[in-house]
């Protein structure tokens, strides 16, 4: 998923709900969020990203945020939002590689035999 505009509160809440629903519906193993076009992240938006990661993790999916601008990273730290459960990468390619490596590790650690018909989809 790519966020191309600064989100206002209602849109951010809708995004959170829609994304978590999609993870559940598709049984996705990964969520990639591109915020390269976002210039400002407030505490609310930071919590939304953290919530998406937490809810996705409960649904057995990893979350990677890519394209974070330096000013956004500084703001998140100054606001005291560590974004637990959110992995980061510089760009989409590195983010996809990170997700794939995390999914491969999780599958290797699984006790049960994996379902050969399972689709390890990633939501972008």
| Number of residues assigned to the chain | 124
CA atoms within 13 A on the CB side of 66: 19
At 75-118, the pLDDT tens digits run: 999 999 888 889 999 999 999 999 999 988 766 655 544 444 44
How far is CA 67 from its chain centroid? 12
CA distance 78 to 31: 25
At 30-85, the pLDDT tens digits run: 999 999 988 888 888 889 999 999 999 999 999 999 999 999 999 999 999 888 88
Bridge partners, residue 34, by sequence: 2, 66
Classify residue 80 by burial, with Cβ atoms within 10 Å: 0-12, 13-18, 19+.
Answer: exposed
């Amino acid at each position: 998923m790519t966020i191309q505009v600064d989100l206002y509160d209602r849109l951010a809440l809708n995004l959170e709900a829609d994304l978590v629903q999609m993870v559940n519906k598709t049984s996705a193993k990964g969520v990639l969020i591109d915020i390269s076009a976002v210039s400002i992240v407030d505490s609310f938006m930071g919590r939304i990203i953290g919530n998406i990661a937490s809810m996705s993790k409960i649904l057995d999916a990893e979350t990677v945020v890519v394209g974070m601008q330096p000013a956004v990273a500084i703001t998140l730290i100054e606001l005291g939002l560590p974004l637990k459960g959110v992995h980061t990468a510089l760009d989409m390619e590195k983010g996809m590689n990170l997700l794939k490596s995390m999914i491969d590790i999780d599958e290797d650690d699984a006790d049960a035999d994996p379902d050969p018909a399972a689709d390890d989809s990633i939501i972008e």
